[in-house]
Structure formats: structure tokens, C-alpha cells
Structure 1
Amino acid sequence: MRLRYGMAAGILAVATFVPVASWGAGPERQSGSVDRSEWRASTTLPRPAPEWQGTLDRTIDTSSEAYYQLDDKAPADAPNILLIMTDDVGFGASTTFGGPVPTATFDQLAQDGLRYNSFNTTALCAPTRAALLTGREPHAVGFGAITEMSTGFPGYNGILPRSAATIGQVFRFNGYATSWFGKNHNTPEWEKGPTGPFDRWPTGLGFDYFYGFMGGATSQYNPELYENTQPVERPAEDPDYILDRDLADHAISWLRTLHSAEPDKPFLLYYAPGTSHSPHHAPADWIARFKGRFDQGWDRMREETLARQIEMGVVPANTKLSPRPDSIPAWSSLSADQKRLYAHMMEVYAAALAHADYQIGRVIQEIREEGELDNTLIVYIQGDNGGSGEGGPEGSINDIAAINGFRADLATMLKAMPELGGPDYYNNYPVGWAWAMNTPFQWTKQVASHLGGVRNGMVISWPEGIDQPGSVRSQFGHVSDIAPTLYEAAGIPAPTRVNGIEQQKMDGISLLYSLNDANAEDKRVQQVFEMQGNAGIYDHGWLANTTPTRAPWDFAGPGGLPTDGTWQLYNLEEDFSQAIDLADKYPAKLKALTQEFWEQARKHDILPIDNRSFARWNTANRPSLLKDRTRFTFYPSSRRISGGAFPDLSGRSWQLDAQINAGPHDNGTVVMNGMRSAGWNLMLEDGIPAFTYKASDAPEDILRLNAKAPLADGDHRLGIRFVTEAQAGPGRVVLSIDGQEVASGQLPHVIPVLLSDNATIGWAFDTIGGKTNPPSPFTGTVDSVELQLLP
């Protein structure tokens, strides 16, 4: 066995990393010169200046020699690192932690490695990933919220500071090849456009190669893909395309390329599929495997899961089921149609998670076949937060519409049921299943005050570094602990200065001490939590936390603050599931812990607490690539317009004029904005101009306008005038050709909040108001598109 605790002693210990006591607030965090030489300042002895003789004539210089100062090599025998993080998966979902969803890859790694049952995330996607990448508390690096909800407050600005170097930067500067596949939710929205800047994209954060998507979620069938910094499209010729397989294919290809070019170079591969965030998408044959597996409902499923967890030893034998919140209906209270629909929604979720785990297994098999598995440290974190309750009590067939305030009724969802899991729906299961997938804990994603929001199963596998495979570790851990764990395993000291910028202190604590000592005393004895006003403080086995004041599926407004609601108190050393509130029994203890919360909140940039949740979407003071412009000109391009380069048209009036050359036989999209879940397109069908607008899946929220006759050959101006008097109110749409109105219609609702900024000119990457395959590219010619925002 080789544990490289001190491996850097002969290689990096002499490096002149100057300790930094603190870093300044505000802009100073990101200032400083760019000087990579500081990483290697003393790893190379200074070279003596040549003694020049006579004139500066290189033909008579006898002291000069050819020399290149190349990048540092990794420490000897440094392990490869495969870091895996799935999305919206609760503690009790996978079979590895007693759940009902078979995860064979996760299971095998647990047999070969260690299960961690007291590992915690942050309760939301982007904050967890910021802490994972940097080894710091999320608010301390600007991620007290997801990027789409960022504000100007220091702990919520959504900007990774340069004073918190990522694992990509640290490992690349220390001789590793680095790559990132899947979800990136940590680039500011206003920096996602075609002109960047790109220094906070994955390739700017230290990753040599990126293949995945930007933002919180994407379709498995028509993903918004990027390769490095360029938008790319899924292969149109693959009728069975699905993103999870594509990600694994690209990761395997990258590994093979590296193995061919530099077989001795260690790698850091960060693999972050979007599964199982909504939409829950999976191949039909995988969904069929789970037919009838969840007919017993979520209440019974929690009981079954806890029994398995106790039998497996992944929770203590005295663990109790935490109570079901009143806002989650009992399974027995549902109608037969509801049970049939909701059970199928869970079947789709299970298929998505199991399929993603299978694809992860393909990546690990490639490492095995290359002969690198024994010296590969694998950290597999099952979920970046608890299961998502955002589907609400009834579930959703269109989460984008749900965020906009439109939820389909039972009849509409039953009609869609056979197609769930396919490309036409952006589906999510009911909150009852999220609660069951978080067994044995309370609450769900978004709720950082309760373990159902933050407790995730983790497995660490390292054949050359673990003596007791197959066992459980119960040391309290946090997602910020992963970066220092990886550094210590590789024998790389956490830098105090990177690119000339002093680094803020690491908040994470390496977990390596627990690898070969199940009884090792916890090194993390305190942890603060806060997301959207839900708050908690862990201290030496005790947890004090607020009571949630807003349901995770209520997107309308803010929740409470830690100063508003009731605080609860739990002794986690005796009550693993956070089931028994001791606030009345130990008031002095509760008071001391609440005071400590405020101390930690000040220390980690949690103050001022911004609890507005989805109410801060499209915050007015957030930077914008388009700034205050109200007129825009776009030209045809084979690449999507994305990353804030197309104006947000939700909840407002606008006018569009498209100059085209076309005739009676032309087809295809002229302009598209959004996706099939919500959006609009202007297109030609057999020469006839048509406009479709979709706010939700309800028939009344889908408007279709058609001209009466095809265009004559030649130049034409197609116009759309879209007028609404209120953000969520009705709208009127007029379609015109060459200045003449040819069709008009009314909408009972316009898209009020969330309309994807993805747009295309002259083609479409998705279908709006249609089925299955995207429309064909426009067969005519688009000269330009003029767009004006109206008062």
C-alpha cells in the first residue's frame, strides 16, 4: 500500500509558497499580476549568467547552452483521479446506500472501497460544485445561490474569485492532464456568450478539455452542448442518441488519447452528468425494466429502504424514520390514476439514474483496461444535493412551465404518460418520491437546514490506498473537503499563491485520515449551512437549524429568514436521521448554537442573507452582455446564439423583422428562441409563413399563426409584433408579410420569467410545439433579423 502523505517532501517542499494570513474583500480578491513562475520559483536552481567575451557575437559564446524550462512533472507515483458527481440524487436512492435504484457501478466501487454515510453537500447545485472545485465554503467563493439567482452581495455574486484556485488549476500546474465532462453550473451568466471572457469557463479554470453543457440542466436528447468554448450539436445521424452515453464516449476517447500520447502522465477527470436533475430522460428499454417496481408508493418505500440501510450497516441500527411533512400527501390518499402516473414517474427516474451509473461504469472499465485502475483514486459523490422536490405534490411533465407558474392538470399528464422519459417532456417526479429517495432524512433539495437537502452518499475507491475495502466510514464530511483530500493523496500542497494572486484559506479538511481508520476521531467538528434562508449549524455532533418557511416547489416568492422562524435542535450522534427535536429540552444549547451560526455567517460571507429564492431570477442589477440595448441585429449562423447573447423576451413586448429570400417551396426555421418546453419559432412550411408560441403544455397556452398562402419567389420581410401589458398576463401576436398583417391571435398567458436565451437564425436545434425531431434547416436565405424591445 502506498499512501503519499509526504511524497512532496523531496519535490515540492522547497517551493516558496508564502503563507497568507488573509485576503482582502471585494475587487482585491481578483487583482494581481499573472505570473505562473511563482509555482516553480525554487524547484529549479538559478542558472548563472554567461560570461560574455568581447562583442555580443553568439558565434564566439562558449558558455551558452540550449535550455527549456518545462512545466513541472507530477510527484512520483501520483495517483490518477476520477471525480464523479451526479445531480439531484438523495442519500436513500441508490442500492449502494439501501435504496431501490440499482447502481451496479457505485455498488462495485463500494465493495472495493469505502462508503461515507455522513458526507454533506450544500442543498443546491452550483454552490455544491463551487465548494467541490475550490475546497472553500460556497458563500466564501460567491456561491450562496445558483448562478441564475446571483446578486451583487459578496456571498451571492456567482463569481469564482481568482483567490480560490480550482482543482483543475492546481493539478494542471502540478503536471496532471485535466478534463471535465458534463455539467458546468459555475460560469456567470453574463460570461457565457460567444465573446466570453472565457477565464471562468472550464478551460479557463484549469481543465485542458471540456465537453458538456453550461447551466443547471439540459435535455438528454437535444442537449445544449459545448466543446471547450464552442457550441456544438449532437450528431443528427444517431437516432438513439442520449447525452449520458455521449459523455462517456468522449471521456473514454480523451483517456485513450492521453494514454497514447503520454501514458505516464497522471490525469484528473471530473465527470459530472446532469442526471438525475429534471428532465428525467432515459432509453425506453431501461424504463421498461422498472415496470411495477414502485407501485407500493413512497411511504412504504421509505420503510423498505430504512430496513435495508440498517441491514447493510450504512445507518445505525437505532435510526428512526423522520416524519412526513404535512405538505407531502400520504400515498394512501391518492386516486388510482394518481398512483398509476406517479409510480411511472418514479420508474422513469430510476431508469435515468441506473443508466447514468452504467455509463460511468464504462469510463471506469476503460481505466481498468489501460492498467491504471489500481493507482486511480475514485471519488463518486451520488448527488450534489438531496432529491428534488421541485416537481411539487403532483409532479410535472414540464418543469420549465412549472417555474413559470404553469402546472399541467392530471388529465394532461395522464395523456403524456406513455411518452415520459422521451424527448417531448421536461418531466419531474412528485415530491413524495424525492422525500423517499432521501430516506431516512427530512425534506429535500433547497432545504439546507435539514439532512434531506444536504446528506449524500459518497464512495471512495483507491486499491493502492485502502486497506479495508467494503467498510463504512461515519466521519462527518463536507463537499469542501474533497479538494484537500485530493491534494494530500497526490502529495501536492495547497498553494498559497497562484498566478501572482494570494489564495484565501482552504475551508476544507482532508478526509484521507479516515481511509484506513474507521474509528479515527472526526477532524471536521463544525459546519455552517445556508441556502435561500434555510440555515443550520453543526457543532460536535449537534445540529441546530431553522424550520423551512417555503416549500421547495413554491417558485413565487421568498422564504423566511433565520430570524423569522423556529429553530430546532438535534443530537446527531444519537439521532442519525434528525428525527427528534430537542429544542425544548436543551434551550441553552440551542441558544449557544444559534449565536455560533451568526458568527460563522459573518466569517464565511453569508451575510446579508438573501432569501428571495426564485424571486431574484432576472435580478435587475445583474450584469448583462447586452447591457441596456433595445435594438439588435442578428445574422444567419450555424452556431446557436447562447450565453446571454440573445435578449430575454420573457414577460415583455417585442417586435421582430426578418429579411429573407424564399419562395413557395421553401421550408424550415427562420428564427427560434427557447426549446420545446417553452419558446417560439418563426418558420416556413411549403412556403407558408407560420409562427408558434408555447408557454406551457396546456392547449390554450400554445398559439399557432399561419399565413393563408405561400410566398412568391423573391425578397420578403416577415414581421412579428408581440405585445403584453403585464409580465404574467395575456398577450397579442401579429404576423405580417412585407408590412401587411396576415394573421393574429391572443394568448391567455405569456412566458413570464424563464425563457431560454438559446436562439438560432436559419435553423433549429429543437422543436417548439411539435413532436420528436427538430425541423430541417431553412432552405431559403436569411439576410438579417432585426429585434426591438418595446416599452
Structure 2
Amino acid sequence: MKRFSILLALTFVFGSRLAPTGSAAVPEKPNVVVILVDDMGFSDLGCYGSEIPTPNIDALADHGVRFTQFYNTARCSPTRASLLTGVYPHQAGMGHLDNIIHEGSKGTTGRLRDDVVTMAEVLHDAGYLTCMTGKWHLGQQHGTPPWERGFDRSLNSPSGGIYFRKQPYRTEVFLNGEKKQKDDPIFGQKWYSTDLWTDWGMKFIDEAREEKKPFFLYLAYCAPHFPLMAPADEIAKYRGNYRQNWAKLREARRQRQIELGIVDEAWPLSEIPEQVPNWDELSDDEKDRFDHMMAIYAAMLDRVDQNVGKLVAGLKERGELDNTIIFFMSDNGGNAESGPRGIYEGKNPGGANSRVFLGQSWATLNNTPFRSYKHFTHEGGISTPLIVSWPAGIPAARDGKLVKEPGHLVDVMATVVDVTGAKYPTEYDGHNIQPMEGVSLMPAIDGQKLHRTHPIYFEHEGNRALRRDKWKLVMKHQEPWELYDIDADRTEQRNLIDDEPDLAKELIADWEAWAKRADVGPWPGRSREAWGEEKKPKEQGKAKKPKEAPAA
């Protein structure tokens, strides 16, 4: 039974829970909001163990559910492709970033393939007004911008960045397909882009209400991706909070995670890599530098949280909150690019003319308690918080509950199709469409088990993984396969590959069959962006002119 068809029964059972908070009547179909943040680690939200206060996101979790084993693809463009299409990244043509094209490949084309449909295309055909704001990064330069892939309204950055109105790079955005300069009066005289994306998202929601349509909003925040930037008053709130040992901060986060039920006390905290310096051996100037970097990062997440609060309040004022299903997640694990020291350039780090990357040392905190980072398929690279809230569709008795069933981005499309009653096509615009790879998450949200017919698969830059039930097969590029019992050892400390040779052989064969089916080609070489591969940055000296920041 499709989810929307039982709303009437839910109304009878849960009464006041389903009463609209404003004047609008609850529509037959729920509104859909998908919020994606960029480069945020598993433990960076208060409700996942962080010391960074995120009260509005935590409130969303308190009135919904939190997943403890939800997975992304370890990288930006691949995650966005998988999230929006319901298939694995290579099947959508986005095996890497959208500026990477492998000649002759169907899996790394730099654009969304024609044999997939986006969530916007599916919901547009179901009568929704489809909207997006924020970071696209799915091949706009190669012919697949948002307005060509189902979005009726959009305000987007082609590939990310953009925090302040005045800064030396990424000077343009696109409003409903029309190129606009960032200083265009239509956006106002002073803004911070995290606020801009939310404000325009609400404008588009109002247009949907005027047209008496349910809405789909894909809100793709650029924060907290480098270059790290935040309003000065926000940064000041956190200055001095991080003049303390990152090892102790990791231990404190893990303890909170245990208390919250997010992690199992039996899982040991992963070791800090040897590249990360001993905090106690740093000079006072170095400690101040690291404190400032993490304060900027915390300020960016604080501002995201404020905007989630603004969005929720706006939905409530409009009478739309109760019948809006909201998903909140991150596109990959914490980002260790730029090495242990990160990058700290500019006269006013965190301001519009600065260039700050958080780096490996703090990324090790972001991903507590797991191993590794963005790019990689160990748990630190692919684990994301997932919060799902829907007052009219999730029983109040489930408020604040943890969902421990494993899930993946491919499941979001299946869930949205389930709850909206939309039709996922077999043919679209003259092309045969690949079937969805995921399953609806609604049984797990309701406290039941998910029934998958296939494992969950991963590949990025030659880093590979497969998750089947409690077993995880994983490989770092050009290194041997590893095997872990995730129920007993989710921090991946005890490699069982030699203890379970028959199982390992079976899982490896399964992964290889999937890779062939899903157009996963061979990775031609190790990325220089990988955390351990870049040369150690030079010591901070005279401020340099900021450079164009990488996209993802």
C-alpha cells in the first residue's frame, strides 16, 4: 500500500499530531524536502555526539528518527547523482566529479546519463512543483543543469562554493536557468549563501502554494565545504573552544555517542593516524591557528542549523510542516584534503578573501569514532547522519527513535516514490530507464527490518566496499581486501579476511559482478587530493592571494 493512502487512518489514530499548524489543509500527497550538507562528518551534529550546538537539527531528530548506519558514496558529485536518481553513481554517469570524464566510459561521463531519471522529474510528473537551491555539481557545463533535469525552479551554483556576496571567485549563480552575478540587486545588498539558499527555497515553496501544488525542495547547502567561511560574529562564538587536544575531543564525542545509543561501547575508538601531530607538542601559535580553523567550521554548521530552524518555522507558519517529509544528510565523511595542518591563508581567515581548509587533524574528530575520510570507503568516508521527520506520516511513538538498519542514498528515491505515490518510469523522454537500486526506508522508520535482495555497494577512485547484513568487505585502492563484522566492530579494527576465506571469496565475486553491471570502470590512478598524498603545506608566512578553491 502506498504511504499517502493511509494518511486518513493515521489522522484518526494520532489525532492532534496530524492537525495542521496553520490554515492550509493537509494535502493527499506529502511535500518533500531533501537537505544535503557538504563535507560534514558523522559526529558533527549534537544529536550524533558533537559539542557543536545544533538545536534545530536536534529538534528535527526529536520529532523524527535518526539512522545510525546510513551511507553516502564518499564524494560530492557521486552522492548527488545517487541521491537524486536512486541508482549507484556510475549508473548515473557520475563515477567521479563532473569535471572528470573517462573516454569510452559509461560510468564517468561528467554528466547525468539519459537512461536515469531524477527525483525532480519523477515528482514533476506526479504534479509537484519541483525546486532546488544551492550546489548542483552534476554536469551543468556538459548539458545537465537542474532546469534540464526536472526542476521547475532553481537558484544554483554550478559546482559549489559561494559564501559571501563579495569574494574573488565564483561570481555567478543561476536563477531558473538565467546567469546572474552575485551582486545582482535581486539578491539584496548583503548576504551569506547559507541564508540565501534557504530564503529562496521558501520563495519557491510560496510559489507552489500559490499554484496549489505539493512541493519538492532539494536544499543543497555548500557548507561546511572549504574554503571555510562564516560571519565574524558566528566565528567569535567558538573562538577558544578548540584550544584543546583533538584526541580528548574525540574521546568526549565517542562517550556522548555511546550515551545516545549511536555507537556501541564495544567498538574501540579508531586510532589517530601517525600523520596527525601530538597536540601537546604544538606551539601556542599553532594551537591558536588550529582553534581558529575549527571555530570557522563550527560557525558554518551553526549557521546551517539556524537555517534548518528557519525552514521548519517557515513551514509551520504556512501550515505545511505536518505533511512535509524532511530528509537531512551529508554527501561524504569529514574532509582531510590538504593534509594534517590544513590551509590557513588570508589576512582575515574565515572572511571573504581567505582560503581555509580544515585538514586531516580536525577531520579525524569529524568522523569519530571511525577510520578514514572523504574519498575512502572505510566507515569514516561513507557514513552520514540521516534524520527523517514527517509528523503526519511517522507515528509520534517513533519520535526520537534510532534506526539501526543499514541504508544508502539509493533508498531515498525509493522512499519518496513510496510515500508520494509517484510513478517511477520504465521509459522517459524516449529513453529506457534503469530500475531503482534501493528500497523504501519506511519499514525501518516504522521500526521494522528492511528486506534487500542485494548488498549495498561502493566504489570511488579505486576504493571499494560491499555491505551485506553484518559483513563489510572493503579495499583501499591498490591494497588488499579487508573483511569486518560490523555488528561487533564497526570501527574496522579486526580484519577477518583470513578467518573467513570462503565468505570473502563469495563477497568479492559479488562486488565484481556488480561493478561490471553498474559500469564501474578501472580507476586509472591515485588522486593527489587523497589525504595522505599531498605534500606537507609550507609553514604559514606572509599572506598569499587566495586561489580558486577546488570544487569538491
TM normalised by structure 2 equals 0.88
**1:166 to partner: Cα distance:** 0.5
Amino acid at match of 1:302: R
Which structure is richer in relative contact order (CA contacts within 8 A, separation 6 or more)? Answer: 2
**Contact 1:509–1:524 (8 Å) recurs in 2:** no
Per the alignment, do residues 249 and 702 of structure 1 end up closer, same or farther by CA in structure 2, a change over 3 Å counting? closer
CA distance in 2, matches of 1:378, 1:267: 12
CA distance in 2, matches of 1:203, 1:368: 28
Q: Equivalent residue for 2:133?
A: 181
CA distance in 2, matches of 1:586, 1:489: 40
Choose from 442, 459, 462 the match for 1:533: 462
Choose from 435, 455, 469 the match for 2:383: 455
Choose from 112, 133, 139 the match for 2:84: 133
Amino acid at match of 1:613: S
**1:582 to partner: Cα distance:** 2.0
CA distance in 2, matches of 1:424, 1:546: 39
Q: Equivalent residue for 2:355?
A: 426
Amino acid at match of 1:3: R
Whether 2:159 is the aligned partner of 1:215: answer yes
CA deviation vs aligned residue, 1:580-608 (integer Å, no higher than 9, x gap) = 22233333333332232212211211123
Query: Over the residues paired in the alignment, what is the CA RMSD in angstroms?
Result: 2.6
**Contact 1:525–1:541 (8 Å) recurs in 2:** no
CA distance in 2, matches of 1:206, 1:143: 18
CA distance in 2, matches of 1:339, 1:375: 47
Per the alignment, do residues 615 and 474 of structure 1 end up closer, same or farther by CA in structure 2, a change over 3 Å counting? closer
Choose from 244, 254, 257 the match for 2:207: 257
CA deviation vs aligned residue, 1:21-79 (integer Å, no higher than 9, x gap) = xxxxxxxxxxxxxxxxxxxxxxxxxxxxxxxxxxxxxxxxxxxxxxxxxxxxxx96100
- Secondary structure in structure 2 of the residue aligned to 1:149: coil
Choose from 496, 507, 511 the match for 2:437: 507
**Contact 1:388–1:445 (8 Å) recurs in 2:** yes
**Contact 1:122–1:454 (8 Å) recurs in 2:** yes
**Contact 1:281–1:422 (8 Å) recurs in 2:** yes
Choose from 416, 423, 426 the match for 1:493: 423
Choose from 266, 269, 278 the match for 1:318: 266
**Contact 2:74–2:382 (8 Å) recurs in 1:** yes
**1:526 to partner: Cα distance:** 0.9
Query: Aligned ranges for residues 25-40 of structure 1 at < 5 Å?
Result: none
Whether 2:537 is the aligned partner of 1:593: answer no
**Contact 1:477–1:524 (8 Å) recurs in 2:** no
Q: Equivalent residue for 2:238?
A: 290
Q: Equivalent residue for 1:142?
A: 93
Query: Aligned ranges for residues 146-545 of structure 1 at < 5 Å?
Result: 146-152=97-103, 153-189=105-141, 191=142, 197=143, 200-222=144-166, 223=170, 224-235=172-183, 240-259=190-209, 261-262=210-211, 264-381=212-329, 383-397=330-344, 413=345, 416=346, 419-448=348-377, 450-467=378-395, 468-517=398-447, 519-523=448-452, 526-545=455-474
CA distance in 1, matches of 2:276, 2:483: 23
Amino acid at match of 2:502: A
CA distance in 2, matches of 1:486, 1:148: 29
Amino acid at match of 1:424: N
CA distance in 2, matches of 1:494, 1:500: 15
CA distance in 2, matches of 1:88, 1:756: 13
**Contact 1:218–1:279 (8 Å) recurs in 2:** no
CA distance in 2, matches of 1:246, 1:372: 21
Unaligned 5+ segments in structure 1 are: 8-74, 192-196, 398-412, 548-560, 617-695, 704-750, 758-791
- Secondary structure in structure 1 of the residue aligned to 2:124: helix
Amino acid at match of 1:165: V
**1:507 to partner: Cα distance:** 0.8
Relative to its length, the structure with more helix (as a share) is 2
Per the alignment, do residues 698 and 379 of structure 1 end up closer, same or farther by CA in structure 2, a change over 3 Å counting? same
CA distance in 2, matches of 1:159, 1:106: 32
CA deviation vs aligned residue, 1:351-374 (integer Å, no higher than 9, x gap) = 011102211221221111011111
CA distance in 1, matches of 2:287, 2:134: 33
**1:101 to partner: Cα distance:** 1.8
**Contact 1:167–1:483 (8 Å) recurs in 2:** yes
- Secondary structure in structure 1 of the residue aligned to 2:154: strand
Unaligned 5+ segments in structure 2 are: 8-25, 531-538
CA distance in 2, matches of 1:178, 1:171: 7
**1:464 to partner: Cα distance:** 1.1
Amino acid at match of 1:341: R
- Secondary structure in structure 2 of the residue aligned to 1:463: coil
- Secondary structure in structure 1 of the residue aligned to 2:357: coil
CA distance in 1, matches of 2:57, 2:549: 36
**Contact 1:545–1:569 (8 Å) recurs in 2:** yes
Q: Equivalent residue for 1:103?
A: 54
Larger radius of gyration: 1
Q: Equivalent residue for 2:486?
A: 572
CA distance in 1, matches of 2:362, 2:389: 29
**Contact 2:336–2:373 (8 Å) recurs in 1:** yes
Query: Aligned ranges for residues 713-728 of structure 1 at < 5 Å?
Result: none
* Identity value in percent: 31
Per the alignment, do residues 455 and 139 of structure 1 end up closer, same or farther by CA in structure 2, a change over 3 Å counting? same
**Contact 1:419–1:425 (8 Å) recurs in 2:** yes
CA deviation vs aligned residue, 1:90-123 (integer Å, no higher than 9, x gap) = 1001102111222222101100000011000000
**1:521 to partner: Cα distance:** 4.5
- Secondary structure in structure 2 of the residue aligned to 1:255: helix
Choose from 79, 93, 96 the match for 2:44: 93
- Secondary structure in structure 1 of the residue aligned to 2:216: strand
Amino acid at match of 2:228: H
Q: Number of paired residues?
A: 515
Query: Aligned ranges for residues 26-65 of structure 1 at < 5 Å?
Result: none
CA deviation vs aligned residue, 1:112-162 (integer Å, no higher than 9, x gap) = 000011000000000000001100010111111011223222211122122
**Contact 2:56–2:305 (8 Å) recurs in 1:** yes
CA distance in 1, matches of 2:5, 2:277: 51
**1:501 to partner: Cα distance:** 2.0
User: Which deviates more from structure 2 when the two are superposed, residues 96-105 or residues 589-598?
Assistant: 589-598
CA distance in 2, matches of 1:329, 1:599: 41
Q: Equivalent residue for 2:15?
A: none
CA distance in 1, matches of 2:75, 2:251: 26
**1:188 to partner: Cα distance:** 4.8
**1:755 to partner: Cα distance:** 8.9
Whether 2:42 is the aligned partner of 1:80: answer no
**Contact 1:220–1:423 (8 Å) recurs in 2:** yes
Q: Equivalent residue for 1:725?
A: none
- Secondary structure in structure 1 of the residue aligned to 2:355: coil
Q: Equivalent residue for 1:24?
A: none
- Secondary structure in structure 2 of the residue aligned to 1:570: strand
CA deviation vs aligned residue, 1:505-546 (integer Å, no higher than 9, x gap) = 1112111111212x4245376112111111112122111111
Per the alignment, do residues 510 and 586 of structure 1 end up closer, same or farther by CA in structure 2, a change over 3 Å counting? same
**Contact 1:149–1:613 (8 Å) recurs in 2:** no
CA distance in 1, matches of 2:293, 2:162: 18
